[in-house]
Amino acid sequence: MSDPAPIDDMLQRVEQMLDALEASDQSSTDFRGGCDKLERYLTEHNASLMASDALSEPNKSRAAVIIERLAGLQKRAETRANIPTGLQKYIAEQSD
């Protein structure tokens, strides 16, 4: 098995990016930018993350949680894309 440190670092970075995206106090523009940044990061590190011997059992569990979070993020993005901007602003203001 390869050295787990780079994989640990990559998973941690993805988790941090997801934490930032899950914050509810950001604009649609910031949310979109964060999603684009996450997509680029995952694309750049795809080969490392997909290596069959790269993930230890604890990291496989982390990856499963990340996948669930990505699915939730996708649903959130779809929902936000279908809400008009003015309504999004009103909802955000009511949340404060």
Q: What phi, psi does 9 have (nearest 5°)?
A: -65, -40
Residue 1 is predicted with a pLDDT of 44
Which domain covers residue 25, as residue numbers?
A: 4-95
CA nearest 18: which of 81, 58, 62, 82? 62
Residue 49, pLDDT score: 74
pLDDT per residue over 40-96, tens digit each? 999 988 887 777 576 788 888 998 999 999 999 888 888 777 777 667 677 767 665
**Alpha carbon distances (Å) from 34 to 28, 53, 57, 59:** 10, 29, 29, 23
**Polymer length in residues for the chain:** 96
| Single pTM value for the model | 0.73
In the chain, how many domains are there? 1
